Structure 1
Amino acid sequence: MLYLTTDQIIELIQGEDVFEANCEDSFSIKIQEYAPFICAAIHNGHNLRKELEDKILLSDTERLYEESPYTQDFIQSLPITIIGNDSRYEYDLNRPEDKCIHNIAWGKQIWKEEPSIADRNTSLEKHRSFYKVVHALVQKLEQKFKAVIIYDIHSYNYKRHSETYLFNIGIENIDIRKYNRQLSQWKEELLKIKINGQKAEVSVNHIFHGRGYLLKYIQDNFDNTLVLATEVKKIYMDELTGQKYPLIIKSLAKELKKAIINNTQKYINELSNINIKKKGKLLHGDLQPELKKIDNALQKYASRFQLLNYVNPLNLASAKKKFFKSKFSVNPEFRYKPLTIDPFKFKSDVYSLKIDAIEDIHLRQLYIDIIGSYSDKADLLSSLGTNKFLYNSMRYFGEPTDKDIDNAKFLLYCQELPEFEDEPLLELSEIKEKFIEEGNHYGFSFKIIESSTIPSDALVMNAKKTLVLKKGARFKPSRLTALANHEIGVHMVTTMNGQEQPLKLLKLGLPRNTYTQEGLAVMSEMLSGSLTINRLKTLGLRVLAVKSLVNGNDFKTTFQYLYETYKVDPEHLFNLVTRIYRGGGFTKDYLYLSGFRNILELHKKGVKLDNLFLGKTSVNYLATLNEMVDRGILNPPSHIPKAFKEPVTTSPVLEYLTNSLI
């Protein structure tokens, strides 16, 4: 951050330079881009000049009580902010100059020794500097955009009041006839906010009436700027001790960011000389240097965590042979590749990253969640082959719901579609040719190798840009088309799109990305016309196998239950149950069916899913991804799966069956 004089800051504003600066320690200002709205937290500060420390009667806690601590956190994500650094007990930025230095305030004597004339002059000069900068900034923005809106954010103590609201809007000094519509819109946005599941209550001119000097100054000096003086109830801290509640602060920051952006879009589209169609355009689009450092460091630490490299058994073929020789009566014993990474050092490294340096609250939360997810993955890997693996897998992937179980059982009673019966098996050369053809459609080049250690028919190794085929596997045409659309059309598409992003987090994968990515992949099978009833039944069997695992049954018990109940081919069933029991209990596979149901439901509702193909994304973060693309932080996806762009007509029977899953 720069340390600048008042005149230097005004010069930068007049030249429309972007900057972040501290004005002689009295206030800080950030202009990431010139936009028609300002966010202010003028009572956030707690600083007191050294020469005043011995003259004040009040303790730190007493001063904090009437200040508005942490209000800067609520607006940190926005492009223009102005934050008071000094305590309002030194000089109050929300009072006129002749009344900004209190001797008695809120019933308390402030000074044991009154500040000298020199002390007062220093404080008054800070007050003047603030308003000179505010004046220059609003003047510039009005000239540029015609209309401006200022969010003047404060907080209030509520325990001394019998009736309180989460938000209070003070409007006494606002031209109601001119701004009535805009005031109503702001109240409506605040009413949408939920904190800890509770909807916000909003009052107008209750407790606080909007008589502050910032609002009055703007009203007296500018014709086309609205100041929304908004008080936040101090539910985010203990108002008596000053102890903050970080999770509530984060929630308020996220919700207020959304409310401010939504309201600003309406305001400027109605009153300014610009029109904003996408709300993300109101936010800063350049990558923060600290964000890039964190992103690069996380990629360095996490890129070696290729889970399937370790969880797939090394002795799959011999274990299968012994299991069949025992007539399904002895559990297979799998061996695994030794870890070449230290999960505990990894956790230490990622938790040392300075995530709080990321300004935007939603981006910051994204990285917090990714680190938490990778920490769970580290625990999962550290317990590979032990009894703890299942517990850690359930933490990381979850377990089937009752709805998942019901859907699985429903599918297992269905009959195959006539068009997929009696298909021939294709030769290996035909299989490879199909995958290469699918890759060529997108302009992808990748290796194709065979492996006897994977329990699935095929998989994409993202880091190595390699398609792995199960050694000796042969596929029917419908299965081959499904695999091509699943593995190349989704998994390789998201791999390649993720590598084109300026941030590496989408190469690593967002939390719960398996749920979304596998859901998209199965949806791609359906839209390509290659999703068979037998494939859906396989997904259903996986759900039941995971449920059996979670219920405490061993490999042979689950195998025998599915074999006897659903008459599944033993070769196919062994691979399916191995997928579930590898590592010590791998619950991931139930997500294929539940993820498909989720994507199908969104698709039916007409939700635009393109940004789920940006990389290894999660539907839980779709709103954040959309915002990041609109802002230019992420690039739109270069590749969209062919099946999603050019879907074939789904058979009425399959349409009925899949709709029944929702």
Structure 2
Amino acid sequence: MTDLGGTSDAVAFVGEWHGPVVATAVHAGHELRPAIAEAMVLDEAERFREEDPFTDRLAAVVPDRVVTTRSRFEADLNRPRREAVYRTPDDCWGLDVWRDGDLSDELFEGSLATYDAFYDALAPRLDRLAERGPFVLLDVHSYNHRRDGADEPPAPVSENPEVNVGTGSLDHDLFGPLVERFMGDLRDASLGCGPMDARENVAFEGRNLAWWVHDRYPRVGCVLALEFKKTFMDEWTGELHDDRFRRAQQGLAAALPGLHDELARLR
């Protein structure tokens, strides 16, 4: 792992970043800066359940990637800046997070600094990728599907695919064939890992990171916001299911060559 200058300890970069496929896992972090940890009353297990544990290991199938260590409860890197710090329960699923019921202005500003450090560090690296032509950023997340309880039925499969590919802000005229190739490869059992139930924009369409990239690099940047359903782990205990997780890793890795093929056609 290398911290390539000008970043905080909350963000670092792995790989050479020569492109054209890179990855992020902005909700994988669990760490908190000490002042935030002291102010927080949210149970750690409950916080872990709302984070995206292990998605950094999914993103690691991509050699060039961003590593972020801080919890989304310090700064949510996938929300617009004005919404990035959870100050009240209304900001985060009704959870009571802070000792005094609200977050102080001082701690709020410190968390915004964490947010800004991420985007300030990412921008110049993506600028250099964009100079070479179209690129793909895989924004790797996960989502809960047993919110009613550990012993209750899971959410309906019809509305909760194994992999939700979010493309809400993507230029479909240009990148539509790339998206179809990617989802087709995830579904293709002949690649040695599937088939995976991959569907587009069923439960999630991608948020701020995708918006930011698509706005900054029109007709060049392509973000696929990937939400892996937490069938690879027990979302209530945090236990990882090794075999299922390995299949998810293999599925994502098997779809990478197709992305390179499609980008080559665009170039």
Q: Which band: TM-score by shorter chain?
A: 0.7 to 0.9
Partner residue of 2:259? 264
Partner residue of 1:238? 234
Q: Report the Cα distance in structure 1 between the residues aligned to 2:236 and 2:190, rounded to whole angstroms.
A: 24
Q: Which structure: greater helix fraction?
A: 1
CA contact (8 A) 2:181 2:259 kept: no
Q: Report the Cα distance in structure 1 between the residues aligned to 2:146 and 2:177, rounded to whole angstroms.
A: 32
The 5 A counterparts of 1:189-338 are 189-192=185-188, 199-210=195-206, 212-223=207-218, 224-260=220-256, 262-272=257-267
Can you give the 5+ residue segments of structure 2 that lack an aligned partner in the other structure? 148-154
Partner residue of 1:157? 144
Partner residue of 1:146? 133
Deviations 1:231-251 (A, max 9, x none): 101111100111112332223
Residues 1:68 and 2:52 are matched in the alignment? yes
SS in structure 1 of the partner of residue 39 of structure 2? coil
Residues 1:123 and 2:111 are matched in the alignment? yes
Could you tell me how far 1:69 is from its partner in structure 2? 0.6
The 5 A counterparts of 1:470-619 are none
Could you tell me how far 1:46 is from its partner in structure 2? 0.7
Could you tell me how far 1:95 is from its partner in structure 2? 0.5
Could you tell me how far 1:190 is from its partner in structure 2? 1.3
1:152 maps to a residue whose letter is D
Deviations 1:55-77 (A, max 9, x none): 22211111111111111111223
CA contact (8 A) 2:8 2:117 kept: no
CA contact (8 A) 1:195 1:252 kept: no
1 or 2 for the larger relative contact order (CA 8 Å, sep ≥6)? 2
SS in structure 1 of the partner of residue 161 of structure 2? coil
Could you tell me how far 1:165 is from its partner in structure 2? 1.5
Could you tell me how far 1:266 is from its partner in structure 2? 1.8
Partner residue of 1:320? none
Q: Report the Cα distance in structure 1 between the residues aligned to 2:146 and 2:22, rounded to whole angstroms.
A: 30
TM-score (norm 2): 0.87
Q: Report the Cα distance in structure 2 between the residues aligned to 1:230 and 1:172, rounded to whole angstroms.
A: 12
Percent identity of paired positions between Structure 1 and Structure 2: 25
Q: Report the Cα distance in structure 2 between the residues aligned to 1:249 and 1:162, rounded to whole angstroms.
A: 21
Q: Report the Cα distance in structure 2 between the residues aligned to 1:181 and 1:62, rounded to whole angstroms.
A: 39
Can you give the 5+ residue segments of structure 1 that lack an aligned partner in the other structure? 10-22, 273-662
CA contact (8 A) 1:46 1:87 kept: yes
Partner residue of 1:39? 23
**4+ runs deviating over 6 angstroms:** 194-198
Partner residue of 2:150? none
Residues 195 and 44 of structure 1: CA distance in aligned 2, closer, same or farther (over 3 Å): farther
Residues 1:174 and 2:170 are matched in the alignment? yes
Could you tell me how far 1:24 is from its partner in structure 2? 2.7
1:264 maps to a residue whose letter is L
Match of 2:99 among 112, 127, 131: 112
1:60 maps to a residue whose letter is E
> Aligned residues, how many?
253
Q: Report the Cα distance in structure 2 between the residues aligned to 1:234 and 1:74, rounded to whole angstroms.
A: 12
Q: Report the Cα distance in structure 1 between the residues aligned to 2:78 and 2:230, rounded to whole angstroms.
A: 19
CA contact (8 A) 1:73 1:249 kept: no
1:127 maps to a residue whose letter is Y
CA contact (8 A) 2:3 2:12 kept: no
Residues 1:188 and 2:184 are matched in the alignment? yes
Q: Report the Cα distance in structure 1 between the residues aligned to 2:13 and 2:188, rounded to whole angstroms.
A: 29
Residues 1:87 and 2:71 are matched in the alignment? yes
Residues 168 and 3 of structure 1: CA distance in aligned 2, closer, same or farther (over 3 Å): closer
Could you tell me how far 1:267 is from its partner in structure 2? 2.3
Could you tell me how far 1:52 is from its partner in structure 2? 1.6
Q: Report the Cα distance in structure 2 between the residues aligned to 1:56 and 1:135, rounded to whole angstroms.
A: 31
Residues 193 and 41 of structure 1: CA distance in aligned 2, closer, same or farther (over 3 Å): farther
Could you tell me how far 1:25 is from its partner in structure 2? 2.5
2:225 maps to a residue whose letter is A
Superposition CA RMSD, Å = 2.1
SS in structure 2 of the partner of residue 108 of structure 1? coil
The 5 A counterparts of 1:607-646 are none
CA contact (8 A) 2:187 2:194 kept: no
2:254 maps to a residue whose letter is K
CA contact (8 A) 1:52 1:115 kept: no
Q: Report the Cα distance in structure 2 between the residues aligned to 1:42 and 1:127, rounded to whole angstroms.
A: 11
Residues 99 and 195 of structure 1: CA distance in aligned 2, closer, same or farther (over 3 Å): farther
Could you tell me how far 1:194 is from its partner in structure 2? 8.7
Partner residue of 1:379? none
Could you tell me how far 1:196 is from its partner in structure 2? 11
Could you tell me how far 1:195 is from its partner in structure 2? 12
Q: Report the Cα distance in structure 1 between the residues aligned to 2:23 and 2:189, rounded to whole angstroms.
A: 18
Deviations 1:353-377 (A, max 9, x none): xxxxxxxxxxxxxxxxxxxxxxxxx
CA contact (8 A) 2:17 2:125 kept: no
TM-score (norm 1): 0.37
1:92 maps to a residue whose letter is D
Q: Report the Cα distance in structure 2 between the residues aligned to 1:33 and 1:158, rounded to whole angstroms.
A: 34
CA contact (8 A) 2:144 2:230 kept: yes
Residues 269 and 116 of structure 1: CA distance in aligned 2, closer, same or farther (over 3 Å): same
SS in structure 1 of the partner of residue 32 of structure 2? coil
Q: Report the Cα distance in structure 1 between the residues aligned to 2:98 and 2:240, rounded to whole angstroms.
A: 27
Q: Report the Cα distance in structure 2 between the residues aligned to 1:195 and 1:239, rounded to whole angstroms.
A: 28
Q: Report the Cα distance in structure 2 between the residues aligned to 1:197 and 1:186, rounded to whole angstroms.
A: 14
